[in-house]
């Protein structure tokens, strides 16, 4: 049902044309002054973006974070100057920042960044912004179903180019958007037929409109420089209540340039002072003045600012009569921090072995109904990664017949799934999560990286975390994925050692984390270490804890293990102590959390008095050298696995208690000779 008032068809005049020409040249001036950037795309986009921002988009320059604002995403982040031009003209951005484009510390970086007032997301890697926009539209739909259209009724607009269209993530995200009938999503395809290497027909010949139509979109074809056609298409998108809309705007890259209009040379390089001067003369703008805004254009934007200012305050005033208005405003304004139920799953040693993926599923089942800000699902693996436990009787599964569901079936679309969840997080009102096998983090990596860059509270549930996956073989057994994820600044990677630590990891992710968290979970059962909920949370929050051998002053050996390798390391430590060796065992669930601890604590867990260390993890050892030290060794897995039962593989590769015992004892025995050799080598410097 469409609750919006009829939209009066806008009128356009010579001032609108002058405004667009001025915007085009402001974009060119930014690139020219920086001697770096992409002028052609902003020039082809200028007409659409101008009509959208001045006539259709609901936003408030005096209240940039107004929760019910329309969202605008420039998926091709390299066309950032067009957004900076509009932000400056509407008062979100000091126009002086135009002159600092791409300079250190400016508010106008080379690609759009989320931290900028008026920017909804960080864009640059093509296709990411489009999938983010799908997530924003999805979040709006679910929130509208929950809180009503008087509270939530905004739209999401995203511009894309040929590069976005060619990225696989765009196809994945569009497929899901069409299936879910996200009717408040409007996409403008800047169809200028040019990319970096030349005309798009070098590599691209498909009918984009037919493709999106097959995916469930309303598809409209227009002249992307005709303001009336643009307005008519936006109105058609606004009144379609059953489909998202793709507007295919045939445009010209470098529109308006004297000699380079339509050329791929305008894509990624300054135009040169002669071309800019001649173009300004052609358009009737002062040829020797940079960043010029004609008086009539300035007045036009002042009137638009006046018309839009106060929209946020009016919205809040309308909600003031609701009994839940304070909590509603808080919920819609950011990513929430939930209050978890007191009764969370606990796992005792007598319960036997429990896979940490199952413990994660038990947690999700326990919080499904009470934590209504949690939303998410899996990439066609809900049963395997145990997100199927998140089945809320109150909301159920999201789909065309249930637009308010919080259980999302993403299908086999790992890349889009991750970026859509980022869009949900950027929108606000939810904490999103998504799940698949750890090995498929390769497909998710670009979007996980952006979640870390933007400090989004997104949770990645990554299961089947080692060669213990077994019979599926090396294609499905992760080797390098943990090292890859740990290399990302801002991502907290947690590999819990048992069920209680898994519950604690979820607690940390939902209530403490200030950025994204990756939960690395087992397929196979692991025994409970006997944690209380408090000690399990301490282990996760600290990143590493000493499990046994606390009273050993000068250990012969320190065993450091992660995840499913902690239990066999603990057993090996007991055997070593029974053999007369002084041994400590440390469980490291999160390198990032450990590195965040005070030096005093880190030295307590990994003391200088324990220089002989064996680091144990069934994955590539890259990054653990810093914990092993010069006298230690890595008992890791720097090769591809094999197809066989998990127990057989554990035996072969030495990840049983017996295998760890033998490796540890051999290290202890050869350490004196290695220590002397190290001392001699150091004395040479």
Task: Report the catalytic residues.
Answer: 414
**Residue entry with tokens 């490291």:** 588
R_g of the chain computed on alpha carbons: 28
- The overall longest dimension of the chain from CA atoms, in Å, is 91
**71-74 vs 156-160, strand pairing mode:** parallel
**Residue entry with tokens 């980022």:** 422
CA dihedral of 312, 317, 318, 323, whole degrees rounded to 10: 120
DSSP per position, 337-362? -PPPPS------GGG--EEHHHHHHH
Report the candidate in 546, 493, 484 with the shortest Cα–Cα distance to residue 515. 493
CA end-to-end span of the chain: 78
* E-only strand ranges, 11-82: 71-74
What phi, psi does 227 have (nearest 5°)?
-65, -35
Please tell me what DSSP assigns to residue 26. H
Q: What is the C-alpha to C-alpha distance for residues 557 and 555, in angstroms, rounded to an integer?
A: 5
Q: What is the C-alpha to C-alpha distance for residues 199 and 167, in angstroms, rounded to an integer?
A: 17
Q: How far is CA 300 from CA 12, 229, 309, 458, in A?
A: 12, 21, 14, 41
Report the candidate in 362, 516, 434, 384 with the shortest Cα–Cα distance to residue 138. 434
Q: Would you call 451 helix, strand, or coil by DSSP? A: helix
**194-195 vs 198-199, strand pairing mode:** antiparallel
648 beta partners: none
Please tell me what DSSP assigns to residue 397. B
Q: What is the C-alpha to C-alpha distance for residues 494 and 508, in angstroms, rounded to an integer?
A: 10
Please tell me what DSSP assigns to residue 52. I
């Amino acid at each position: 049902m469409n609750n919006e008032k009829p939209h009066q068809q806008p009128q356009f005049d010579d001032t609108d044309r002058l405004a667009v020409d001025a915007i085009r040249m402001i974009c060119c001036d930014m690139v020219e002054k920086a001697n770096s950037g992409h002028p052609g795309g902003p020039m082809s986009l200028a007409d659409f973006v101008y009509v959208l921002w001045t006539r259709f988009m609901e936003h408030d320059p005096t209240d940039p974070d107004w929760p019910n604002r329309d969202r605008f995403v420039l998926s091709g982040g390299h066309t950032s100057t067009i957004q900076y031009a509009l932000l400056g003209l509407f008062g979100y951005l000091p126009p002086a920042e135009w002159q600092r484009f791409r300079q250190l510390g400016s508010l106008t970086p080379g690609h759009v960044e989320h931290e900028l007032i008026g920017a909804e997301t960080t864009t640059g890697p093509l296709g990411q912004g489009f999938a983010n926009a799908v997530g924003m539209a999805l979040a709006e739909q679910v929130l509208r179903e929950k809180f009503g259209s008087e509270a939530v009724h905004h739209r999401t607009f995203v511009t894309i180019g040929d590069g976005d269209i060619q990225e696989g993530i765009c196809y994945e995200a569009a497929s899901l958007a069409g299936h879910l009938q996200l009717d408040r999503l409007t996409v403008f395809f800047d169809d200028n037929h040019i990319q970096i290497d030349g005309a798009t027909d070098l590599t691209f010949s498909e009918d984009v409109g037919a493709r999106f139509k097959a995916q469930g979109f309303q598809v409209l074809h227009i002249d992307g420089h005709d303001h009336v056609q643009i307005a008519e298409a936006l109105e058609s998108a606004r009144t379609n209540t059953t489909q998202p809309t793709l507007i295919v705007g045939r445009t010209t890259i470098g529109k308006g340039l004297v000699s380079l209009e339509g050329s791929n040379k305008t894509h990624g390089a300054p135009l040169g002072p002669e071309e800019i001067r001649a173009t300004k003369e052609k358009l009737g703008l002062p040829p020797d003045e940079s960043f010029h805004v004609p008086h009539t254009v300035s007045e036009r934007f002042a009137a638009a600012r006046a018309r839009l200012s106060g929209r946020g305050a009016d919205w809040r005033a309308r909600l003031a009569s609701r009994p839940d208005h304070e909590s509603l405003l808080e919920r819609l304004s950011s990513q929430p921090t939930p209050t978890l139920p007191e009764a969370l799953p606990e796992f005792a040693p007598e319960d036997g072995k429990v896979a940490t993926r199952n413990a994660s599923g038990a947690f999700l089942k326990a919080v499904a109904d009470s934590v209504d800000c949690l939303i998410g699902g899996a990439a066609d693996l809900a049963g395997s990664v145990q997100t199927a436990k998140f089945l809320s009787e109150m909301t159920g599964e999201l789909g065309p017949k249930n637009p308010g569901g919080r259980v999302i079936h993403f299908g086999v679309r790992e890349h889009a799934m991750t970026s859509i969840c980022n869009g949900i997080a950027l929108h606000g009102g939810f904490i999103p999560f998504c799940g698949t096998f750890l090995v498929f983090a390769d497909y998710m990596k670009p979007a996980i990286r952006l979640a870390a860059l933007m400090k989004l509270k997104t949770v990645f549930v990554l299961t089947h975390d080692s060669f213990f996956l077994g019979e599926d073989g090396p294609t499905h057994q992760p080797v390098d994925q943990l090292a890859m994820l740990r290399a990302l600044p801002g991502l907290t990677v947690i590999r819990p050692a048992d069920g209680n630590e898994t519950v604690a990891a979820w607690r940390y992710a939902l209530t403490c984390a200030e950025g994204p968290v990756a939960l690395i979970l087992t397929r196979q059962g692991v025994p409970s270490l006997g944690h209380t909920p408090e000690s399990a949370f301490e282990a996760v929050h600290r990143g590493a804890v000493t499990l046994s051998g606390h009273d050993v002053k000068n250990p012969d050996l320190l065993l450091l293990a992660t995840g499913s390798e902690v239990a066999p390391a603990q057993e090996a430590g007991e055997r070593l102590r029974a053999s007369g060796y002084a041994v400590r065992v440390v469980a490291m669930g999160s390198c990032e959390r450990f590195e965040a601890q005070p030096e005093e604590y880190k030295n307590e867990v990994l003391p200088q008095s324990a220089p002989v260390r064996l680091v144990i993890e069934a994955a590539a050892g890259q990054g653990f050298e810093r914990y092993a030290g010069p006298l230690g060794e890595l008992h890791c897995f720097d090769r591809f696995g094999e197809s066989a039962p998990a127990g057989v593989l554990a035996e072969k590769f030495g990840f049983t208690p017996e295998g760890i015992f033998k490796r540890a004892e051999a290290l202890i025995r050869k350490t004196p000779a290695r220590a002397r050799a190290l001392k001699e080598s150091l004395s040479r410097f």
